[in-house]
Amino acid sequence: MHYHYIIIGGGSAGAVLANRLSKDPSNEVLVLEAGRPDYKWDFRIHMPAALTYLLTGKNYNWGYTSDPEPFMFNRKIAQPRGKVLGGSSCINGMIWIRGNAMDYQKWAGDKGLEHWDYAHCLPYFKKVENRLMGGDNYRGDQGNLKLTTPTCKNPLFDAFFKSVQEAGYPLTEDVNGFQQEGFGRFDQTIYNSRRLNAARAYIHPAKHRKNLTVITQAMVLSILFDGKKAVGVEFKKGKRINKIFAKEIICSGGTINSPQLLQLSGIGNANHLNKLGIPIVKNLPGVGENLQDHLEVYVQWACKKPLSLYPALNPWHAPKIGFDWLFRKKGIGATNHFEAGGFIRSNDLVSYPNLQFHFLPLAIRYDGTVPNEGHGFQLHVGPMGTDVRGRIQIKSSDPLQYPSILFNYLSTENERKEWCEALRLSRKIIETQAMSSLMGEELSPGPAVQTDEEILDFVAKEGESAYHPSSTCKMGTDDMSVTDPNTLKVHGVENLRVVDASVFPYVTNGNIYAPVLMVAEKAADIILGNTPLNPIELPYFKATST
């Protein structure tokens, strides 16, 4: 069979491309997704508060782990990635953060990326969004992805907002608008009390189109080439291996799977691929390099008053929580609980925020474990503008073997410096008069952890990925770039593009789902040869001092 476009991966970026490329009925579009469908009946996908099940289970999750991290006591760090139609948008924290405007100015500072500055990206962010509380010059209200702004009803949020102001930090009306710096409510990818993943926003509304074919549980094994021209793919569905052909192949497998597939197909560091017996199509040493991620820790306190969500952890409450969510579309099952947080600068050397905080009215880990029997609350905190670089590298020519993943967390002096600042500023934000009637004992890391050495030891022992991997097929024109910034085509081959978080030159300031969808919307216009949306020149906040 022949198609105009084969999209490898029905995740966040692939879902956008499936919708946009199939809008023209003359384009035959095929989406191949290794995971299962995002079944409407499965509450684990659609119930916002069921996040823990998705991050720790294997039904919808590739369940990757890193190699032993040399600066973290050789711990293997979990890296969940979505293995389902909708990809990681089905298992993420449902937090909508675009990044800072200056992230895209940084992108545009690289040679050839002039059209990836904030002004050129902003119209595509607006194109994605349907912010239910209304749009404005910065925000969209007509897009595919409906966004809910939380109410932050729990009284701990009120105390938190007072506390950050007492600590010297501003509130901001919208971290995705004029001013990211400061603290405020975080928009959620939740609609009608259900997670709105990328498949529900983009693929399902287009599935009636006769020119769009979506095949799930289809594991792509390799990209097929005629010389240096990509002509098709080989994929496994059940026990059968199929070959299928197209005029153009678009790799949207994500930061781990896209470089893995390129390497398996003969595109990557020739020295490494030769050792594995893989025929070389194109020597591109940057494939799988430049891996960036955000590391985070939980800073947790006991709560003196019974205000936290701790009672909801009692199994006896589960039936009512489920009933309220399913039939009444309300209650604590209908939110991700990451309703507030913020961005600040940790020192005078950075020009825009380099730390992100999430506030949670409960002390709990991603795996669902709690530090004590009782009420508590916590900050998730971690540096954003990391200068740490890792890599993705296949171990063999077997497509079913997971690749080697090394993040190199804590490997740079600057990263370690910012971690010490992050922990101390977390305490500054909470140890205020505004929180004094609520703040009990510090549970994690605990008051004994004070010196730089003690803080870094704690981070190395307890740090977890924030699940924001990016940049392993980065756009650019230098020797280590993989994709062309104007076309997103893979350097040195024909008819092959990459569209997902792996093309970011630098990880953005915050959660990465929003910029992935922006890149995919922008890429769709590039692929179709559409006139790009006009840049929107708007001011954005620039700090003058700390």
Dihedral angle computed from the Cα positions of residues 524, 525, 528 and 530, in that order, rounded to the nearest 10 degrees: 170
d(CA 102, CA 511): 15
- The dihedral region occupied by 254, where left means phi > 0, alpha psi between -120 and 50, and beta the remainder, is left
Q: How many residues make up the chain in this entry?
A: 546
Phi, psi angles (nearest 5°) of residue 156:
-65, -30
Nearest one of 30, 129, 31, 45 to 82, comparing CA atoms:
45
From the candidates 337, 358, 468, 491, give the one annotated as an active-site residue.
468
Counting other chains too, the contacts that 200-207 makes at CB distance below 8 Å and 24 or more residues apart are 200/38, 200/86, 201/15, 201/144, 201/145, 201/146, 202/15, 202/16, 202/18, 202/19, 202/144, 203/10, 203/15, 203/18, 203/19, 203/31, 203/85, 203/86, 205/19, 205/144, 206/18, 206/19, 206/22, 206/23
* Sheet order of strands, 390-393 included: 289-291, 390-393, 404-406
Closest Cα partner for 521 from 530, 508, 509, 510?
530
Catalytic residue flag (residue 468): yes
Residues with catalytic roles? 468
